Structure 1
Amino acid sequence: MKKILLPLFCFILINCKKGETQAVNSSLVDVVQEDKAIALDAAKSASPIPPSSVAETASKNESNSTDTTIISKKIIKNGNMRIQVGDIRKAQNQINSIIKNNQAYIQKEEFQNTDTDDNLDITIRVPHKNFDALVNSFSEGVGSVLSKNISSDDVTEEYTDVSIKLANKKIYLEKYRDMLKSAKTTKDMLEIQENIRELEDEIDVSEGRLRFIDDRVNYSTLNLSLYKEKVRSSTTSKIGFGSRFGDSVTEGWNSFIAFFLGIISFWPFFLLIPVFIFIWRKWRNRKKKFNENNE
């Protein structure tokens, strides 16, 4: 019995030692791997980030931003209207009331008074949601619509493209700023600073473009022209016979001045006429004497 128990005890003791050895070895491997990871992290933090890693990171972020960026429809609405009215001032008061009711504002106003008509040109900016209501109000109660042109421009694709590129440029900018902190030489610092400056300029341009598109999308533009024709009649217009007579006298005098100035412009030819007359007379006298001598 003792002979059987002794070998069994030795076998169990050997297996226990092997288990302990394997556990020690596995723990040593874990420690070595951990040390390697810490060393790699330290090396990465101590050395500057190469541009290739910046490009790879930016390209990954670009694909992620492309997948996650969701932009609503961006529609720019513009319009042109020309309306004939009977009274410019009355129509202008109606327009101001309609503009106020639709939360719009006048961006530009220009008035022209000629002998034949009065023209009032107004550039109106109106919230996108109120654009159709504003146009319908002008079409119904202001006057006779001579022309109307409404257009819609979908800029969603452009807006999305600029937004994605802007996000990627900001990622590049942050990476270059990190590189600048760990730059070792003056040459590297100057190159990184130049890249940062170019990126900042491009970001400003992109942000300005997005602001411009947002403004045009949020506020539509309507160019409105009011037109009143002046009828030249003494019974229907303030322009009577006396005014027309004065205009005729003025036009006649202007025509005479134009004719007189046109004649004066031929003065070189007038100087040559006496020379031609002198030569012609001299030639005629010679011919006359020659004929008399032959007779």
Structure 2
Amino acid sequence: MKKLFLPLCILLLMSGCKKSELDVANSSPAVAADKAVAVAEYEVEAPPAPKEVYQMAPASSISEKSEPVNKSAQPSIAPKKLDTIAKKIIKNGNMKIQVGDIKKAQNQVEDILKKNNAYIQTEQFQNTDLDDNLDLVIRVPHKNFDALINSFSDGVGSVLSKNISSNDVTEEYTDVSIKLANKKIYIEKYRDMLRSASTTKDMIEIQETIRELEDEIDIAEGRLRFIDDRVNYSTLNLSLYKEKVRSSATSKIGFGSRFADSITEGWNSFMSFLLGIISLWPFMLLIPIIIFLWRKWKSGRSK
């Protein structure tokens, strides 16, 4: 009996497991699908949506799309900082030297100029009865300016006058350089605005602003070039002076020449006096009239 009971229990357990499997298989497809979706949602989670990043547009881009360009409202930029600018010193000088021979002194000057890498910018010669004058405007590298002055003072002649001046233009040069750099930044921004301009009016206004900036940039660059030229090459105004020594043998200033000059001057004075009297002829016409009236008045009074 016991031997039959044990197999019967095992058979009942196996039939119960098969029934549960059949129930699951025979369940509705919709329920099974919902369970599958639920499992899938649980196992695979969708990645979070990326966060949107908002960034403020530059003021220039807003203005060029939303409203007409205002010429007075320039793009906002930070002032550009320049590297430290070296000292800018302009040296100028004036010298007047008395020499014994203009030609010889001129040759000495040319030798001195070659040694100091200088050159003559302008030259003017004047010959009078009393003296000879050779005026030179000399440009010399800044570093050779003092050596050039000393060479002229020592070996050419007697220095009658000398005036040396130095002008520090570092502040002006720095100011112009900073303004120039900022204007170049402005003009690039305006060119970007021109490429994205949407109306003809905006394009015309931006082009006019660019033209004005280009003119200002040209002026600033020209000023910087002028300062650099004056700094790199100093200017010296040199005057070579020779006084003429006059004698009776060479210049005919003896007694005879002076006597002839006196006669000539006397004759010229007489002619000037005579011509002066002749120039008064309208007043001379009044003299006969005055005499006639005076006599008539006198005769009438006597009667």
Of 268, 273, 276, 1:259 maps to: 273
Aligned pair partner of 1:55 in 75, 89, 92: 75
Larger radius of gyration: 2
Query: What's the RMSD between the two structures over aligned residues?
Result: 3.1
SS in 2 for 1:33: coil
- Please tell me whether the aligned partners of residues 46 and 182 of structure 1 are also in contact (alpha carbons under 8 angstroms): no
Aligned position for 2:177: 163
CA offset at residue 258 of structure 1?
A: 3.1
The match for 2:200 is 186
Paired residue for 2:133? Answer: 119
> 1:110 Cα shift?
1.0
Structure 1 residue 172 and structure 2 residue 191: aligned? no
Q: Establish whether residue 218 from structure 1 lines up as the match of residue 232 from structure 2.
A: yes
More helix per residue: 1 or 2? 1
- 8 A contact 2:139–2:235 mirrored in 1: yes
String of CA shifts for 1:171-221, please: whole Å, max 9, x gaps.
000000000000000000000000000000000000000000011111111
Instruction: Determine the C-alpha separation between the residues in 1 that align with 2:239 and 2:141.
Output: 20
Partner of residue 93, structure 1: 107
- Alpha carbons 1:74, 1:217 under 8 Å: kept: yes
Q: What's the secondary structure of 2:285's corresponding residue?
A: helix
Q: Which residue of 1 aligns with 2:165?
A: 151
After superposing the two structures, state which structure 1 stretch, 278-287 or 247-256, moved more. Answer: 247-256
Q: Secondary structure at the match of 2:147?
A: helix
Q: Which residue of 2 aligns with 1:283?
A: 297
Task: Label 1:208 to 1:249 Cα distance change in 2 as closer, same or farther (>3 A).
Answer: farther
Which range moved further: 79-88 or 184-193? 79-88
- Contact 2:61–2:193 (CA under 8 A) maintained in structure 1: no
> Percent of aligned positions with the same letter in both sequences?
69
1:114 Cα deviation from its structure 2 partner: 1.4
Aligned length: 257
Q: Give deviations 1:197-254, integer Å, cap 9, x for gaps.
A: 000000000000000001111111111111112233225x545437656655554444
Alpha-carbon contact 2:94-2:163 (below 8 Å) kept? yes
Deviations 1:90-143 (A, max 9, x none): 111111111121111111111111121111111111111111111111111111
One-letter amino acid of the structure 1 residue matched with residue 193 of structure 2: M
Shift of 1:282: 2.6
What's the TM-score, normalizing by structure 2?
Answer: 0.75
Q: CA 1:92/1:173 → structure 2, altered by over 3 Å: closer, same or farther?
A: same
**Cα 1:92/1:245, change in 2 over 3 Å:** farther
**What letter is aligned with 2:76?**
E
Of 156, 166, 178, the residue aligned with 1:142 is 156
**What TM-score, normalized to structure 1?**
0.77
Per the alignment, residue 230 of structure 1 pairs with 244
Please give the secondary structure, in 1, of the residue aligned with 2:75.
helix
Task: Describe how 1:75-90 pairs up with structure 2 within 5 A.
Answer: 75-90=89-104
